[in-house]
A and B are shown apart, each in its own frame.
Chain A
Amino acid sequence: MRYLKSILVVAVLVIASAFTTNIEDSYKIGDTVEDFKLKNIDDKMVSLSDYPDAKGFVIVFTCNMCPYSVANEDRIIALDKKYKGLGYPVIAINPNDPKAMPGDGFAEMKVRAKEKGFTFPYLLDEGQKVYPKFGASRTPHVYIVSKPEMKLEYIGAIDNSSRNPNKVTEKYVENAVDALLAGKKPMKTETRAIGCSIKTL
């Protein structure tokens, strides 16, 4: 009976893994990004196609609990304030499974967004199907997408001092979006920063 149970467990895992996206298959620079439909903190569904006038998007995987995400919140708000009017709004997505991370639930997202005065959508990646497509591995993790081709132009950190906003000397995302708005390609397309791993059960 126990043997049968083990076989069943293995079978379930194999089937489950067949339906999950491998990180190796995730978007690379230059790839076309698929649209998605996720629930916002105002309970309405949001897709990238809801923004016909946008020139592109600054997609940020972030959450409530990670100290690195929290340290970057003001900068994420500043990015939205600067670039929404120029055609590159911020779209924030919480990739964590609330069951694995109490404090990152939908209700808590609403509270945090209100406390900080988020000016952008804050979506929950319910079912955790979207973040693996992007290959997001930590929070915060930024993906810049340009229209009309929905091309992935940048992956990485907001700037070169994730933990301490007072020591920033290179603003990766601003430089990338400025380049795209000027019809050029970003000089740096991929950067790294410390962050919290994404929580799954």
Chain B
Amino acid sequence: MIKKFFYFLYFIFFLFSCNKESSKSEFKEITTVKSYTYNELKPMLERADGKTYVINFWATWCAPCVKELPAFEKIKEEYKEKNVEVILVSLDFPKHVDKRLIPFINKKKLQSKVVLLDDVNEDFWIKAIDSTWSGALPATLIYNSKKRAFFEKNFVYETLEKEVQSFL
């Protein structure tokens, strides 16, 4: 009787373990990506809600950007309990959203939120996002209510994690 009870417990334990695993890899295919002008995006770059935001500027045509995406996905997964949110701001050409961006997101099963920045006034918003940004991709903005820093460089997971940790 006791034995059966324990088997039942093990069964329940594995059931819950399996659920945890599948919720991590569960990915819903997307069919649209929301497009923002700079003014519409701006609130996302200056929220004061207690979270730490990691905003990565990238594009599917930018090879170094694509290469560093797994680092951002891993940060999202490892630090979600620490109130860290990752947003991937794509600078893909609007005409390529359906043919390139959406298939890319689905193929790579990107879990982080992806938005499109579609605003021709690049000289204006590049300087507004950070005065030191030359406009080259990839670039990353990390901010929370305590600190704000901009990085015009490539990251690997170790260097990105180090920066994120300095914000927490």
Contact = CB atoms under 8 A, between A and B. Distances in A.
A163 B126 CA distance: 14
Interface string A157-201: 100111110010000000000000000000000011111111000
B126 A193 contact: yes
A177 B30 CA distance: 47
Given A137-B134, A161-B120, 19 more contacts: A66-B61, A71-B93, A138-B134, A138-B135, A157-B122, A160-B121, A160-B122, A164-B120, A192-B123, A192-B126, A192-B127, A193-B135, A194-B91, A194-B135, A194-B136, A196-B62, A196-B137, A197-B138, A198-B136
Contacts of B122: 157, 160-163, 192-194
Interface residues of A, number: 22
Interface in B106-133: 120-123, 126-127, 133
A122 B109 CA distance: 40
A122 B45 CA distance: 40
Ranked nearest first, the 10 interchain pairs of A and B with the lowest CB-CB distance are A138-B136, A192-B126, A137-B134, A197-B136, A161-B120, A192-B135, A191-B123, A193-B122, A137-B136, A167-B120
Interface residues of B, number: 19
Interface of A: 66-67, 71, 101, 137-138, 156-157, 160-164, 167, 191-198
Q: Is the interface of A mostly helix, strand, loop or mixed?
A: loop
A18 B134 CA distance: 24
Contact of A67 (B61, B64, B138): B61
B37 to A, nearest CB: 13
Interface centre among A101, A162, A191, A194 (most CB of B within 10 A): A194
